[in-house]
Chains A and B, each alone.
Chain A
Amino acid sequence: MTETTDTAPRAPLAGSRRSPRTVRRAGRGATRHPGRRTPQGRSWRHSPLQRITPWLFLAAPLALLITFTYVPVASMVAYSFTDWDGVSPERNLTGADNYVQIFTRPELFRVFFVSGYYLAASVLQIGVALYFATVLSFNLRFRNFFKGVLFFPYLINGVAIGFVFLYFFQDGGTLDSVLSWLGVRTDHAWLGDPTSANVSLAGVSVWRFTGLNFVLFLGAIQSIPGELYEAAELDGAGKWQRFRHIIAPSIKPVLSLSIILAISGSLSVFEIPYIMTGGATGTSTFVIQTVKLAFQFNKTGLASAAAVVLLAIILLITWIQRRLVPDDKVDLV
């Protein structure tokens, strides 16, 4: 923490009118000039202000972090052991009852099947993003334009996307019109039955999040030194071989991060299905179910327990994933 203050070694000329501050500044330079060595400890004792400076800088972010992250999480955990209805000033401790309920009511877990659609979609999403990131990392006409096009959906607010795609999937909406231009006349209600609705919603999610994966991959690919490609080319490596032996190993950490994000994302899908179908027609996800428990049926305690369980599941999956694919250093050269 303290290293931040003693930066550039600046050897002062004369020692007589040195303020404690310049003494400290000379800290690292002093090793090269043994005669001017000042014991660090003394200056620390003399200026308590400097001692707390880093904490002052930290105070704002820590206060925000604690107020808006740790306190709410702590209260949520506390609620999960009560039967609070979300409004009443009274709440009773019920012990682990809420957790028992969650694990003994299979219908509460059935919604995780819906996450399967999103998980399958995120495999597609990572594939598409990887393909475009590789292609666009080479010199290409209108490269920046295409990068913008791919990243753009990620910048739009999720609620807006929900509304846009509601019109898109409407009977006689954008999708139906486009298909009719192509000569396909369809009478299919895209959000009408569970399978079709979930596939449609997962498709929207792919459209939205491909940009994020794409940018992560592109950043990783562009940090690969150019001479590696040149050397590979001299050795006669083809495009596929260059991808297989240079690009793929060097983006492995980013890839594993994307996979963790994809899994936790598919388990906690919320915005898009909530706005577009409200969880009707078999599109309810675990988070939608939790929100409904808390705000429709006033079971805030049970909903908090559900949220804690989801958190635990995601942590567990992340841990297993890290164990299976250790984050070892990538060394290409």
Chain B
Amino acid sequence: MGKTKTLAGALLTVAMLTVTGCGGGGGTSGETAAAPADPGAVSGEIKVLTHRTDLVQNGVMKRYAAEFNKIYPKVKVTFEGITDYEGEVKIRMNTKAYGDVLMIPAAVAKNDYPKFFAPLGSTPELSRTYRFTDKTEVGGKVYGIAQFGTANGFVYNKALWKKAGVTQWPRTPGEFTAALEAIGKKTGATPYYTNFKDGWPLVQWTANIGSVTCDPKATDKLAGAVSPWKEGGELHTIDSLLHDIVKRGLSEKDPSTTNWENSKGLLGKGEVGSMMLGSWAITQMQAAAKDAGGSPADIGFLPFPAQKDGKFCATLVSDYQQAVSIHSEHKSAARAWIDWFTGKSGYSETEGAVPALKSAPLPATLKDFVDNDVTLVERSEAQTGPVNAIDNAAELGLNKPDYRQKLIDIARGAQKGSLQGYFSELDKKWDEAAKTAGS
């Protein structure tokens, strides 16, 4: 009996310790991670956390580090590739050991950036050189620099579309579904592939907010009780298009067992007509087309089917932002790496992505866009914090697949409901959450 009492006492103590230990916080030093003036003088060992496990494993990252060392000989760069980057880094950020350079996980609230990352400089100073700086701006200071950006649109198989007699880019959602119908009828291919099972490709649709009305501030305007799915709203147009594609049977037969890796080959071979993705996917699709026996030249990229004043628009959004940990002991070495990797390594060029450096030219993958005079709209991130707060409070997930999976289920009749009913349900959730969060 006495023993059980001691044990219970010990457990209680542990519990109390845990409860009281809850208030622990990170450090808050305002020291700027400035770029070193003399590349030869900066030294130290820095660890870079990255989600590109493939590049860490095949040694590409090591080669970048070797190039970097030619200019900064005294800095030693090591990499840690993390497969479940978001999930793992989010948990590690409760400690002090989250590397020197890391990609900012989406889970970190914008206002918390100063608690986790060292500022990289003032906004006017950095926005002259880099795109997308407003995404990480808190209180006039920038906390992260984008690796690169992506333009949004549909990856499609040009040869297949030609075979179906569609040679012009569709200019309205109606023309788009008509084009898909023609592909389905004339070629027997699956006109559109949703990637429903893997889910994340559905999130790409959200990145088109702004493409419809050519408005860089379209996402900012969602901050508040604005009923984003009301008639005429961008999300209304975007999600209606997806709904119509599925409802008319223009997508794959069994969405519940789709497979992303397979889908690349299917598009390459011309068994699938199109997929909504970012421009980052073009190089992967080209490679897959080659492997599947197709031609890389068949892979094309077209903007969201909507025009303003006779011109197409496509949103430009930033990929992961690189930041310097506030706990880093070699902040200027870390900063040197970020500047070099973003601007001089040739990484974004290899990836076929839009460079974060303003002075660098657009990649070859976007040649179609340049030739057809597509307006690239750099998405404003001024209100991203409040918008995300509302999104989370509503448990909707604009950047999560769940609500679009349900949209597809409704469209194909697997779940009860109508499009209008679902939209008003989403609006209601959004507006209610806006009253409590994000203001």
* B115: A residues at CB distance < 8 A: 88-89
Q: Does B405 contact A (CB under 8 A)?
A: yes
Q: Which residues of A (183-211) have their CB < 8 Å from a CB of B?
A: 189-194, 197
Q: Is B368 in the interface zone, CB < 8 Å from A?
A: no
Q: Are B199 and A280 in contact (CB under 8 A)?
A: yes
Find B257's partner among A74, A85, A191, A296 (CB 8 Å cutoff).
A191
A293 to B107: give the CA distance in the assembly, Å.
12
Asked whether any CB of chain B lies closer than 8 Å to the CB of A70, the reply is yes
Q: B168 near A: Cβ within 8 Å?
A: no
* A contact patch SS: loop
Provide the bound-state CA to CA distance between A292 and B395, in Å: 9
CB within 8 Å of B: which A266-325 residues:
277-282, 292-293, 295-299
B15 pairs with A74, CB closer than 8 A = yes
Q: Is the CB of B400 within 8 A of A296?
A: yes
B87, closest chain A residue (CB):
A295
Chain A residues whose CB sits within 8 angstroms of the CB of B232 once the complex forms: none
Complex formed: what's the CA distance from A277 to B14 in Å?
Answer: 39
Check A191–B107 contact: CB distance below 8 A. Answer: no
B412 nearest in chain A by CB position: A192
| Minimal Cβ-Cβ distance residue in A for B413 | A193
The distance in angstroms between the C-alpha atoms of A192 and B197, with both chains bound, is 11
Q: Assess whether A87 is in contact with B256, with CB atoms less than 8 Å apart.
A: no
Residues B405 and A88 in contact, CB atoms below 8 Å apart: no
Contact yes or no, B253 A171, CB < 8 A: yes
Inter-chain contact A281/B405, CB cutoff 8 Å = yes
The answer, yes or no, to whether A1 is at the interface (CB within 8 Å) is yes
CA distance A75 to B24 in the complex (A): 13
The verdict on B143 contacting chain A, using a C-beta distance below 8 Å, is no
CB <8 Å contact, A192 and B397:
no
Residue in A71, A90, A170, A193 whose CB lies within 8 Å of B25: A90
**Chain B CB within 10 Å, residue with most, of A78, A192, A279, A280:** A280
When chains A and B are docked, how far (Å) is the Cα of A281 from the Cα of B414? Answer: 7
For the complex, is A29 an interface residue (Cβ under 8 Å from B)? no
Which one of A189, A282, A298 contacts B107 once the chains associate, using CB atoms below 8 Å? A298
Q: Is there a chain B Cβ closer than 8 Å to A56's Cβ?
A: no
Whether, in the assembled complex, A86 has its beta carbon less than 8 Å from a beta carbon of chain B, the answer is yes
A-B contact list, 7 entries, CB within 8 Å: A87-B93, A87-B105, A87-B108, A87-B112, A169-B257, A189-B257, A191-B256
Which residues of B does A touch, CB under 8 Å?
Answer: 3, 10-11, 14-15, 18-19, 22-26, 87, 90, 93-94, 105, 107-109, 112, 115, 196-197, 199, 253-257, 392, 395, 397, 400-402, 405-406, 409, 412, 414-415
Please report A residues at the B interface, Cβ cutoff 8 Å: 1, 66, 70-71, 74-75, 77-79, 82, 85-91, 166, 169-171, 173, 189-194, 197, 277-282, 292-293, 295-299
